[in-house]
Amino acid sequence: MSKIEVIKLRKMNTVNALEKIAKYQSSAVFDEGFKSAENLQQRKDDGLGCAIAHYSGWNGLQIMKIFAAALEDANFHGECEKVREWIANEDTRR
């Protein structure tokens, strides 16, 4: 297996894992909190957001760092830089 194939497989596994987390978080068990969601994608996005909040221990600064990493990965470099500025401002206030 080539290095590129390994990278693609890892990425696919990560996406599949995130998809499963989002589906679980937005399942009937959690429906009460998602009544206002208009469609399945919104519910899955909300579920993923809840999973990230839980993963980070509801630490807003950690959530911002995860958000910055996602923006960078998606090549939203300008937006990522703004979020990193927010992070730096939060770090200096502590």
Contact residues for 80 (Cβ-Cβ < 8 A; gap 6+):
68, 71, 72
pLDDT of the residue at 47: 79
State pLDDT tens for residues 19-61: 677 666 656 445 555 555 466 777 778 878 888 888 888 999 9
User: How many Å from the N-terminal Cα to the C-terminal Cα in the chain?
Assistant: 47
Residues 40 and 66: beta-carbon distance below 8 Å: no
- Return the percentage of the chain with pLDDT > 90, whole number: 32
